[in-house]
Amino acid sequence: MSIFDKLKKIFHFQGPLINIKFINNSYNNVETKNKPIHYDANTEETLINLDEISPKQKKGIKALIDEHLNERTNKILQKETQDFFNDLHSYDKKNDSQILTFFQKIIPPSDFEALEASLYLRNVFKNQARIGNQAEREKVKKIKFDIIQAFGERGRNISNLCTSGYFEGFLKPLYNVVSKKDFNDLYEMIVGKAALALFVHEKMSSRDITSEITRKLNISIKYGIKSIHIHGIGVQNIEKIKGCLRKQEKFFNFFKQKIHEENNILIMILILK
Amino acid sequence: MVKITFDKAAKKEFLELIDKEVDEDGMIVEKSNPNQRVVTFDGQEISIDEFGGVKKGSEVFIKNNIVSLMRLLKR
């Protein structure tokens, strides 16, 4: 007897049994209130309300869950996690495989993991820029949060550098022209200390921006690098950078400035005069 | 293939179905032994907020985190 047949027997249910979803009484569907089971034709899900099942039904479901999970490849996920997992499963790594192959043996394993996650983030970010809906924007935020949660500030740096193309555009060519030791030192400066680039975010003030520029330059000057890149994504952050340029004119007179702005992304290169 | 999921709001009810509960620190524990915290497939304890799902006989817990899911995909 299949899992569906067993469920139908437990609930005396004749409706369709496709995707099963466990819910409770707080679920936003009036049809499910006070009902142990309901088929939602809109989402094509069979909703089992765990607040409304009898002890006998609960026992039956427990046994079914055990049977389902005994199969090695089966899992039971929160709905959003399942959607996320499906998306990850269908993410085509082909475009990113070159960069992954290049860095796999060069950078520490946990950095590599952060890079893998960041490449997926970049992929989602590009989709979000194209589609532009709130759900995609939330997804970008969540993935970034997850990377930082797993890898800390180092993860934040890697995700910022990756989404801005630094791995293939700067670190990869750098690896090919310097010694292994110099690369490791520079890599640590760029990724570990985030010295090469400043990614402006909504919580930064003008003073924060200039003090971060100074701090990062003090690190990179030791390695002979006298420039820094400032990144701003979105209207607010771009305005923040421009506002900082106006307010802190004296500070920025010490630099040659190159600004590139397109599609709500601003990149400013500051080179110490 | 049967797909089974649970709604975010029904996490605690689902955990009860698999004989788990949440301790006062918000961490998922064995119902039969509340001092024993459950772990993910890579050996980390897991809070109710991080809880994303289970596999393999309800013994392997999955975090709702991109890094966890990527590791799961590789297994």
Name chain B contacts of A114, Cβ cutoff 8 Å: 67
Quick check: A272 pLDDT over 90? Answer: no
- Total residues found in chain B within this entry: 75
| Whether residue A263 is found in the same domain as residue A201 | yes
| Whether residue A85 is found in the same domain as residue A67 | no
Give the one of A22, A61, A150 whose C-beta lies nearest to B67's C-beta: A150
Quick check: B28 pLDDT over 90? Answer: yes
Among all residues of chain B, which has the CA nearest to that of A121? B66
How much of chain A, in percent, has pLDDT values that exceed 90? 45
Q: Structurally, how many domains does chain A consist of?
A: 3
At A9, phi and psi to the nearest 5?
-70, -45
| Whether residue A71 is found in the same domain as residue A89 | no
| Whether residue A207 is found in the same domain as residue A273 | yes
At A20, phi and psi to the nearest 5?
-95, 135
In a domain, A190, yes or no: no
What the block records as the tokens of A219 is: 């690190």
| Whether residue A172 is found in the same domain as residue A84 | yes
Domain boundary among A76, A109, A135: A76
| Whether residue A84 is found in the same domain as residue A58 | no
In a domain, A185, yes or no: no
Q: Could you report the predicted ipTM of this complex, rounded to two decimals?
A: 0.94
| Whether residue A145 is found in the same domain as residue A88 | yes
* Closest CA–CA distance from residue B65 to any residue of chain A (Å): 6
AA letter at B45: E
Query: Which residues touch B23 (CB under 8 Å, ≥6 apart)?
Result: B29, B34, B37
Among all residues of chain A, which has the CA nearest to that of B3? A19
Query: Span A92-99, mean pLDDT?
Result: 86
Q: B31-52 as b/e, with b when 16 or more CB fall inside 10 Å?
A: eeeeeebbebbeeeebebebbb
Domain boundary among A113, A145, A176: A176
| Whether residue A72 is found in the same domain as residue A91 | no
How would residue A198 be classed by pLDDT, with cut points 50, 70 and 90?
very high
In a domain, A212, yes or no: yes
Query: Which pTM value belongs to this model?
Result: 0.81
| Whether residue A96 is found in the same domain as residue A167 | yes
Predicted confidence at residue B57, as pLDDT, reads: 67
Query: Which residues touch A268 (CB under 8 Å, ≥6 apart)?
Result: A229, A230, A232, A241, A257, A258, A259, A260
The angle at the Cα of A223, spanning A148 to A177, to the nearest 5 degrees, equals 90
In a domain, A261, yes or no: yes
Q: What is the residue range of A217's domain? A: 195-273
Distance CA A194, CA A12 (A): 61
Predicted confidence at residue A18, as pLDDT, reads: 74
A144-195 residue pLDDT tens: 999 999 999 999 999 999 998 999 988 999 899 889 998 999 899 889 988 8
Give the one of B51, B57, B69 whose C-beta lies nearest to A69's C-beta: B57
A13-69 residue pLDDT tens: 888 777 899 999 999 887 777 889 999 999 999 999 999 999 999 999 998 898 889
* Closest CA–CA distance from residue A243 to any residue of chain B (Å): 35
Domain boundary among A53, A76, A99: A76
